Amino acid sequence: MAYMRKRVALLFVVFGVFLAICTGCNGFSEEPPAQASKANSPKYKIGVEEKSSISEGVASQLPKAQIKHYPDLITAYFALQVGDIDILAYDENVLTHTFNDSMSGLTYIENDIDVPNEFVIGMNKHSSIPDIKGIINRLIDSLNAAGTLTELNEHWNKNLKTNPLISTKESGSEQILRIATSADVPPFSFMSGNQIVGLDVDIAKLLEEKLNIKTSIIKMDRNKLVTALKNNDADLIISAFTICECLRHEIDYSKPYYIGKTAFVIRNDFGKEATLSKVPKMTYLEPKKPDEIYKLADLSGKFVGVQTGTTLDEQVQQLIKLPRIQYYANIPEMTKALEERELDGIAVDYSVAETILKHHSDFSILKERLNKDVFGIAMSKNSPLKSSIDSCIKVLQKKGEIQKIKDKWSKNMSAVRVIKQDWVGTDTLVVGTEALYAPYEFYQWGELSGIDIDIMYTIGKMLNKNIKFADMNFDVLIPSLVNEKTDLCIAAMSITEERSSLIDFSIPYDKNESVIVVHTPQHAIEVIGDSTGALSHIFQKIQDLFD
């Protein structure tokens, strides 16, 4: 839902920019100031999010500047990219995590004006919950005193900053290598916020560097990857793609860059208390009990999930007697089906299984790991890239670069945990949010994640309340509180005078500095007179963001 809202917002941006071009676009006319205070002049246009504390702060600190208000960060960001504004002021954490790998040509300038940004929890002024404001404030105080809020900040900021793509170097070639991936197989490729990240994506960036060619990562459904190669919609597939003899007459493969094993993931419950043996990082099941699943033979006649577009269904048929194979478009959907007891087990690569267990402590891996998973880079038949890519993989393996990437993702994925609601509360608090503000609230692995989400679950546990999140547009959050559709809201929200007249706020649970972003002089666009060139520039920026 959040992703679709971004797409809709981008369509409005593109349409607005097109109109601007038709009526004449001035581009970037001013050299960026060295400091934020130097922007206090009518010649500078500063973009801010409307009805925010940063908007109020910038207006009071820089009264002579032209302040332009935007409904959200995405719209403001593109306004900066196409020259509608000279400067963008926004929260540092949100800006960095949202556009971390798409800020080519932009730079931060010294923020010598005092525009802090404090985030709070909103609540109905006439809440039916007695003393809800006092309760939330006391809980925030106790979480601060215990260091819990600091730990949550460090946890989410550390993981979101270390996981994005390897930095792209400027390439001397104008050619773009189109790399297709399904972005649904952690830790190989998956969505973190609005970025495609993972081991496979870092492999792609290493190839970009070694081949001196620009790359473009294209996300598509797994069952469309091979078709994309055949139709020349992609040059390569790097997507935990098994080297399969049955496809060799249609496509070519590189030499393997990853060799793993198939693993079977099951639930721990079985309606009885299982005997568990803990070893570092993993949980294995030990002695068999009647009607429980402890080895592959126990999955005979049971429902086993596999991902569409893989060869795992063939392996399941070979290893298990009369399995009831169920196909799923991606790993998160399949994992959810196992969690909700629609499946008895799932078949995945062992690294994927490890990642699943780090998010689901109630799952285990069967000891038997039989068939090898050999991943290669797929390309069209007789592709001229094959010899170059094979040589690169050989060099990268010899230098240990690929192993470093494997180690990086194994380490990072073990740390990225989401607090689970593992208690049964007396009743439910409905919490409004908008999952567009990483690292505070965003979708990771198909579930709401981030600092704000963990804070609310922590508060829910302390109050013995179930937490139910309602993901909605930001401008609906306050009306939902006023109309008692929700009990609380948390969405990297700051206090403004207008908001305070409508709802109550907690004490701040987080405080950040705002940052000032401008175009670097060498990337400033001259006056745009050619609409074709302008549109090309705009759509390239959009592609950069979603790739």
Would the pLDDT of 160 be above 80?
A: no
Pick the closest to residue 511 from 72, 47, 109, 114 (CA basis). Answer: 114
Give the pLDDT of residue 158: 60
Amino acid 472 reads M
Q: What is the pTM of this model?
A: 0.48
| Domains of the chain from N-terminus onward | 2-115+514-546 (3.40.190.10), 117-162+417-512 (3.40.190.10), 176-257+376-415 (3.40.190.10), 263-369 (3.40.190.10)
Q: By three-state DSSP, how is residue 315 classified?
A: helix
In sequence order, which residues have a C-beta less than 8 Å from that of residue 376 and are 6 or more positions away?
Answer: 241, 243, 253, 254, 255, 256, 257
Measured CA distances, 147 to 233, 420, 459, 508 (Å): 50, 19, 14, 15
Confidence of residue 161 (pLDDT cuts 50, 70, 90): very low
Q: How many C-beta atoms lie closer than 10 Å to residue 512's C-beta?
A: 17
Would the pLDDT of 417 be above 80?
A: no
Q: What is the mean pLDDT of residues 301-305?
A: 90
DSSP state of 528: B
Confidence of residue 519 (pLDDT cuts 50, 70, 90): low
Q: Exposed, middle or buried, 468 (CB in 10 Å: 0-12/13-18/19+)?
A: middle
362-416 pLDDT, tens digit each: 888 887 656 666 888 888 888 888 888 888 888 888 878 888 887 777 655 443 4
Confidence of residue 105 (pLDDT cuts 50, 70, 90): low
> Is 489 or 521 the better-scoring residue by pLDDT?
489
Give the pLDDT of residue 461: 85
Angle, alpha carbons 481-484-490 (nearest 5°):
30
Could you tell me which residues are beta bridge partners of residue 276? 285
Q: What is the mean pLDDT of residues 415-440?
A: 76
Say how far apart CA 158 and CA 149 lie, in whole Å. Answer: 14
Task: Name the residue with tokens 């693993």.
Answer: 263
Would the pLDDT of 426 be above 80?
A: yes
Could you tell me which residues are beta bridge partners of residue 69? 48
Confidence of residue 516 (pLDDT cuts 50, 70, 90): low
Kindly report the backbone phi and psi dihedral angles of residue 172, in degrees, each rounded to the nearest multiple of 5, phi listed first: -85, -10
80-101 pLDDT, tens digit each: 877 888 888 887 777 776 665 5
Say how far apart CA 514 and CA 119 lie, in whole Å. Answer: 12
Which of 56-65, 266-275, 521-530 has the largest mean confidence? 56-65
Q: What is the mean pLDDT of residues 495-509?
A: 88
Confidence of residue 157 (pLDDT cuts 50, 70, 90): low
Give the pLDDT of residue 532: 38
Percentage of the chain surpassing pLDDT 70? Answer: 74
Q: What is the mean pLDDT of residues 4-17?
A: 49
Peptide bond into 187 cis (omega under 30): yes
Give the pLDDT of residue 20: 44
Give the pLDDT of residue 422: 74
Q: DSSP secondary structure string, 34-80?
A: SBGGGG-STT-EEEEETTSHHHHHHHHH-TTSEEEEESSHHHHHHHH
Would the pLDDT of 498 be above 50?
A: yes
Confidence of residue 419 (pLDDT cuts 50, 70, 90): low
CA-atom Rg of the chain in angstroms: 25
126-150 pLDDT, tens digit each: 877 788 888 888 888 887 888 877 8
Q: What is the mean pLDDT of residues 25-38?
A: 68
Instruction: Quote the mean pLDDT of the chain.
Output: 75
**How many CA within 13 A on the CB side of residue 516?**
24
Q: DSSP secondary structure string, 245-284?
A: GGGTTTEEE-S-SEEEEEEEEEES-TTSPPPEEEETTEEE
Would the pLDDT of 5 be above 80?
A: no
> Is 327 or 532 the better-scoring residue by pLDDT?
327
Say how far apart CA 477 and CA 486 lie, in whole Å. Answer: 8
Confidence of residue 36 (pLDDT cuts 50, 70, 90): confident
Confidence of residue 180 (pLDDT cuts 50, 70, 90): very high
- Contact at 8 Å (CB) between 327 and 308? yes
Measured CA distances, 134 to 127, 147, 287 (Å): 12, 20, 51
Would the pLDDT of 236 be above 80?
A: yes
Q: By three-state DSSP, how is residue 215 classified?
A: strand
Give the pLDDT of residue 191: 81
> Is 53 or 275 the better-scoring residue by pLDDT?
53
Amino acid 144 reads N
